[in-house]
Amino acid sequence: MRIVAGMNKGMVLKTTKGSRVRPTADRVKESLFNILSVKILDAKVLDLFSGTGNLALEALSRGAYSACLVDNHAESIAVINENIGKTRSVARIRIIKNDCLSAIMLLGRATEKFDVIFCDPPYNCDWLKKIVVCVESAKLLAIDGVLIVEHNIDEKYVESIGMKLIQSRRYGSTVISFFKEDVNANSGMSGEF
């Protein structure tokens, strides 16, 4: 696993032992960031189920303003800290050791807003809808912000009242789904950012 582009391009990141964490594959990550394009510049990023810090560190390398990483596993936090040390991005990063849903609610109560929210939860655990509904309820997305959830192809999303599925991209059995706040169902939002 490596940083694909930006100021830390080519930097190899440490991974956790075993199969508990499933980092986003480099080809999927590269495609994801190509879709986001300039939206990542100066963005405030939230990385839920951060695992190794892979997505947040890629975002910072590509010009994101700051990143908040959430994970509740001690080994993941240790790996995240080691990877942060390699990138010298400490001043722009905050780590929250907590479970995902509790962290979302804490950030919501603190009226935090994020331009880009990454979420790469364990597959086949019905996280997709829970995350979308919780992020919408906590009002974490900034104006024109985007929530990106990586999930298994078998996991289907049922539209919620406050979030709109903008697009999904399939990479083998992995799907990346992009959501925006549906502030007005008749606003003419397109499938682009």
Domain edges within the chain: 27-181
**What is the arithmetic mean of pLDDT over 89-96?**
87
> By the 8 A CB rule, do 165 and 157 touch?
yes
Question: Any idea which fold 27-181 has?
Answer: Rossmann fold (3.40.50)
- DSSP per residue, the chain: -B--SSTTTTPBPP--SSSS--PPPHHHHHHHHHHHGGGGTT-EEEEET-TTSHHHHHHHHTT-SEEEEEE--HHHHHHHHHHHHHHT-GGGEEEEES-HHHHHHHHHHTT--EEEEEE-PPTTSSHHHHHHHHHHHHT-EEEEEEEEEEEETT--PPPPSSEEEEEEEEETTEEEEEEEE-S-TTS---S--
Q: In this predicted structure, what is the pLDDT of residue 156?
A: 75
**What is the arithmetic mean of pLDDT over 4-24?**
78
Q: In this predicted structure, what is the pLDDT of residue 184?
A: 62
Q: Regarding predicted confidence, which is higher, 144 or 189?
A: 144
Residue for token digits 């900034």? 142
Is the model's pLDDT at 152 over the cut of 90?
no
Q: How far apart are CA 124 and CA 153, in angstroms?
A: 9
> By the 8 A CB rule, do 51 and 76 touch?
yes
Q: How far apart are CA 47 and CA 69, in angstroms?
A: 5
Q: In this predicted structure, what is the pLDDT of residue 186?
A: 38
End-to-end CA distance of the chain: 27
- pTM tops 0.85, yes or no: yes
Least confident of 70-79, 82-91, 156-165: 156-165
Is the model's pLDDT at 6 over the cut of 70?
yes
**What is the arithmetic mean of pLDDT over 121-148?**
88
**What is the arithmetic mean of pLDDT over 154-183?**
83
**What is the arithmetic mean of pLDDT over 20-39?**
80
Is the model's pLDDT at 185 over the cut of 50?
no
Pairing, β 114-119 against β 141-152: parallel
Neighbour count for residue 136 (Cβ, 10 Å): 21
